[in-house]
Structure 1
Amino acid sequence: MRGEQRRTKSVDVAREAGVSQATVSYVLNNDPRQSIPEETRVRVMEAARKLGYQPYAPARSLRSGKSKIVLVVWPMSVVEAAISQMIEELAAAVAKVGFSLVWQVGFSSEQEHLSANLAPAVVVGMVDENDAAAVASLQRFHAPIITLGNRDWINAGTCAQVAYLLQQGPRPIVYAATEKAQLQHLSRTRQEAVQQMCREHGLPEPRIVTVSQTREKARQALADLLAVQSPPFAVCAYNDDVAFATLAALSDLNIAVPETVSVIGHDNTMIAELSIPPLTTIGLENPNLTEHLIASVVSVCQGGPVLETGTLQAKVVVRASA
């Protein structure tokens, strides 16, 4: 078993360059208050490169009182490809200004240890800014917060779901909720939007069914629903994952989609076109979102303000399930 490799310290650089440890500190920190001969400066830099010296970040942050960490928190345990790509681009952008990105997947408001162990310069929270518990958990970091998510964005997608279903003809609407605990706030927000849309259009109060991600439980949930809700009806799913489980359950129950029950998802995930039938869903689009997010994060890293990141536009992606 290989032990931990010893970290090269400034004293090692000083010994290699034949100078004092204080001189190494002045050179590596580019201290403007000290006049160091160019020959000495070059010798120190060459010694640091030769030994592979890297400044110890925790000590440097302690001395300066400034962090070089950008923390991104994502509440879900699964990350879609589009989000992953956006975070990769953000990581590359903050690296150019000397910062490192830390990405916490599956973040919840109960994870108090994270704020005890990390002191980021800025927090990017991919949470609903109206979720008081989520925002409070981000505030524990005592750093500027950039949130990507608000009620307008959430409602835009859900309202587009219901509006599309109404265009297909009058059918009772069922809201299919997720069972995942960390998504309950967002799921309830979308549920309320569906209920409001139904009231505005004179439709019956939508039934609510919680659809599991396991096939057997999803099938039982849909069987229970069909016992109290006669077809035809339309299912407005919390997201594409819930829609996929709904489609699988309906297939097991020999219910024709979309003839008997129509299903619409939310998020337009990469595999939405591969379901049987291909899933009609909602895509949230903002071609400049990543660019705006990067600009805002870099602004904060450089001591500037949090900038606007823009809004998302809901678009119905029509396939065969509704």
Structure 2
Amino acid sequence: MGRSGRVTLTDVARASGVSRATVSFVLNDDPRQTISATTRERVLAAARDLGYVAHGIARALREGSSRIVVLNVDWGMEGNFSRSYVKGLDEELAEHDHILLVRHGHAIPESTQKVLDTIAPRAVLRLGEAYMQGHEPIEEDWESGFAANAGLQIGHLAARGHSRIAMALPDHDFPLTEARLGFSREAARRLGLAPLERFVVPGPREAGAAAVEAFLAAHADVTAVAAFDDDIALRTLTALGDLGRRVPEDVAVMGFDETEYGSLSSPALTTVHIDAEVLGRIAARTALGMRSDGLTPVHGRIVVRASV
């Protein structure tokens, strides 16, 4: 072991019986070098056994950037989708010796630039950025992407006999609100349903009840509410209960992007569960300039409970 007590590349090379250069190629996952699987595993095993930790600052100087990838997650996007996405992104980056830094809240350009100047990240990502920029879904998105998950919600309500559906939206300007609304409206059109109505359910309980009451008074033919997410669905459930409306007999309510709270409501909330771990792994490989062969997005699924 090195004189300072810190395990060095030389220590790993000696333990694995290869050159220091080979150890460097393996630990840096250098795509320009062809190292046999046996040698690679021997080096990695020696590094694990010795507790080797790379000197990040020195490597950043060599590579021109740190081995940090930054993910910005806007407020209002903290659901199962974001949690599973972060998990996949983090684990995939770790497998390639990179570190994930997650920033919550609105990422203004000035603060992002400070991050760039301070840590020189390998990449800066923003959850859902493509859709925030007005990305039009291709047909693949309707098979396994964000649009497909929005379509699951509308499709489930339609399958239960609802042809007049409204979408309950948050009272704050979330980055993906318009994209979600657009996908849901297109899903309704594809299913031959009436155009999707929209209304906002504010946070204070009394205000939420007043908003729901006013909307239903003006749209008596609406029999189902597709909520922006589980939080808005729970606001709607509470409002309907306060108004003496039965769920689902009078109005069905369906959530989106499952949280654990929906199972605790009365009635329990039917919702859409989205597992985005694979999407996180794909994003990690893309950020590192690697192929994503063998990684296929997982389809969303309906969690059937009592509110529909």
Same fold (TM over 0.5): yes
AA matched with 1:305: M
Q: 1:250 to 1:294 in 2, by over 3 A?
A: same
Shift of 1:310: 3.2
Alpha-carbon distance in structure 2 between the residues aligned to 1:224 and 1:78? 28
Which consecutive unaligned segments of at least 5 residues does structure 2 have?
Answer: 14-19, 22-52, 136-140
Matched, 1:113 2:111: yes
Return the offset for 1:56: 7.7
CA–CA separation in structure 1 for the residues paired with 2:100 and 2:188: 43
TM-score, scaled to structure 1: 0.66
1:222 aligns with 2:208: no
Superposition deviation, residue 123 in structure 1: 3.1
Q: Which amino acid aligns with 1:131?
A: M
| Whole-angstrom CA distance in 2 between matches of 1:299 and 1:198 | 33
Where structure 1 has 5 or more consecutive residues not aligned to the other structure, the ranges are: 1-12, 18-25, 34-52, 135-149
Superposed CA offset, 1:102-123 (max 9, x none): 1111244x34321333221123
| Residue 172 of structure 1: how far off its partner (Å) | 1.6
Q: Which has the higher contact order (CA 8 A, sep 6+)?
A: 2
Give the Cα–Cα distance (whole angstroms) in 2 for the partners of residues 133 and 172 of structure 1: 27
TM-score by length of 2: 0.69
Query: What is the Cα-based RMSD across aligned positions, in Å?
Result: 3.8
Indicate conservation of the 8 Å contact 2:225/2:251, yes or no: yes
Name the larger-Rg structure: 1
Specify the SS of the correspondent of 1:123.
strand
Cα distance in 1 for partners of 2:162, 2:86 equals 41
Match of 2:154 among 162, 165, 173: 162
* Runs of 4+ in structure 1 over 6 Å off: none
Total equivalences in the alignment: 260
Going from structure 1 to structure 2, the CA distance change for 1:90 and 1:157 (only over 3 Å counts) comes to closer
Q: CA deviation at 1:249?
A: 0.6
8 Å Cα contact 2:81/2:275 also seen in 1? no
Superposition deviation, residue 74 in structure 1: 1.4
Deviation at 1:93, TM superposition (A): 5.0
Instruction: For residue 234 of structure 2, give the secondary structure of its aligned residue in structure 1.
Output: helix
Report the CA distance shift for 1:105/1:133 in structure 2 as closer, same or farther (over 3 A): farther
Match of 1:307 in 2: 292
Identity within the alignment, %: 26
> What is the rounded CA distance, in whole Å, between the counterparts of 1:260 and 1:79 in structure 2?
30
Tell me which amino acid in the other structure corresponds to 2:304.
Answer: V
Q: Matches of 2:225 and 2:243 in 1, distance apart?
A: 15
Residues 158-180 of structure 1 show CA distances to partners (whole Å, capped at 9, x for unaligned) of: 22222211222244211111222
User: Cα offset for 1:54?
Assistant: 9.6
Q: Which residue of 2 aligns with 1:174?
A: 166
Deviation per residue, 1:119-176 (Å, 9 max, x gap): 2112343214132289xxxxxxxxxxxxxxx676222122222221122224421111
Work out whether 1:254 is the aligned partner of 2:244: yes
Q: Work out whether residues 266 and 282 of structure 1, in 8 Å CA contact, stay in contact via their aligned partners in 2.
A: yes
